[in-house]
Structure formats: C-alpha cells, structure tokens
Amino acid sequence: MAKNRLERGGIIERWDSLVIKAQGQGDTVLINFRRLIDESNIPGVVVEQRKLAAGSIQGVLGGKRPFLVIRHTVNPHLKAFKMLINVREYGTNLHVSWFLVHQPSWWSTCMNFILTIPIISLLVFPFYFVARLIASREAGVLELNSFDEQDLRGYVTFIHHCLVDAVEGLNHDDEIDTSSLHQHSMGFLGIV
C-alpha cells in the first residue's frame, strides 16, 4: 500500500462520528487535537499532514482528502501501523473519523510476494529468514506479541481520546451538541 493512499484492505480499525451543526469548526478540532497531543508528552508520537486518495486511480484523478497521519516511533514493531485522521464538513455538520492502517514497508511487501512463488521462495527464504532475525521486524497484526499489542492499544486509545476530547471541546457553542458522539471503534481492538 502506498503512503499516499487509504485502501480499504489496509484498514484494521476505524471510528467516525457526525457532529451536528458544527460546520466551520474543523480547524478548531484539529488545533485542539494537536494541542492535546503536545500537552500529553507521550514519547514517539509524530503527526504530519498529507493528502490521501482512496486508491491509485482516484489519486491520479485528483480525488484526495487532507488527513493527519500519526505514527508511533518508539516500538519498532509498530512501525507499519499508522493512524489517519480526517475532519471534513458534511453539509451543516462535521464528519470526524480516524483509521488505523497497516502499511508494511516496500521491502516487506516485495518479500512476501516473492515468497508466494514456489521455486524462487526456496532460494530466497533462507536469506529472508536471516534478515528478519537480524533486523527489527515490522510486525503484522497476527505477529504482535502481548507487549506489542499493549503498546498498540495504548497508542490508538490515546489518539482516539485526544480526538474525542478535541471534538467535545466544541461544546462552548450552544448550537453544537456533542452528546451523541460515538465512543466505540470498530475492529479487533474495540477502543472505547
């Protein structure tokens, strides 16, 4: 999966909610979100802004949306897991969402493909196995040990709560009601 695409197959957890009558408040939510991350002093959380497409063709045709891309850099096994946050106007409302995606490196993707070719895999596998032992590996969802999963849950829960708190910070306006904000994510982590 390319870094500038949000493809359905790479999404392993998601959350979204619609904030009624919050049109024009997207920048406020993002500013509050970044402030909450900065104030928490959680090590290794990197935030950058990118425009992402839903696929290759849509990217070429210009169908991109702005996202905040959040990476966890402390645990090397979580390198392939990124959170993507999008806040966009939806009529007079604000649609707020995040996706947890698994984006393995080009090297991992290439090697996994090569290992599916029977004759070549017999020749390449010993070298691949040694490289995986020596280098810090990128864990897939099924390769996470208990501590890696604990770190992933902590990271995703932290980002989730920062975003929910940033949205709930809009309550100062009597028109905006955040009481119906969805709290649960959908996926194998089930963040609350």
CATH of the domain at 29: 3.30.310
Residue 2 lies in a domain: no
In a shared domain, residues 168 and 154: yes
* 71 found inside a domain: yes
Q: How many CA atoms lie within 13 A of 155 on its CB side?
A: 27
Residues 25 and 113 occupy one common structural domain: no
The domain tally of the chain equals 2
Residues 53 and 19 in one domain: yes
Q: How confident is the model over 27-45, as a mean pLDDT?
A: 92
Tell whether 21 and 100 lie within a shared domain: yes
- At residue 2, the pLDDT reads 44
DSSP state of 75: S
Tell me if 3 is assigned to some domain. Answer: no
> Distance (Å, rounded) from C-alpha 191 to C-alpha 42?
18
Same domain for 73 and 41 = yes
The arithmetic mean of pLDDT across residues 34-43, rounded, is 92
Residues 45, 109: one domain? no
Same-domain check for residues 52 and 96: yes
Does a structural domain hold residue 192? no
* Domain carrying residue 125: 105-137
- How much is the average pLDDT of 133-159? 73
Residue 26 shares a structural domain with residue 94: yes
Instruction: Please report the pLDDT score of residue 135 as a whole number.
Output: 45
Average pLDDT of the chain to the nearest whole number = 78
Give the Cβ contact number of residue 23 at 10 Å: 15
pLDDT tier at 39 (50, 70, 90 boundaries)? very high
Supply the pLDDT for residue 145: 83
pLDDT, position 83: 92
Looking at the fold, whether 125 and 68 belong to one and the same domain comes out as no
> Within this chain, do residues 59 and 39 fall inside the same structural domain, yes or no?
yes
- Count the neighbouring beta carbons within 10 Å of the beta carbon of residue 182: 12
CA distance 188 to 91: 31
Span 97-117, average pLDDT: 68
Instruction: List the beta bridge partners of residue 19.
Output: 94
Per the domain annotation, does 56 fall within a domain? yes
For residues 115 and 126, state if they share a domain: yes
80 and 113 inside one domain: no
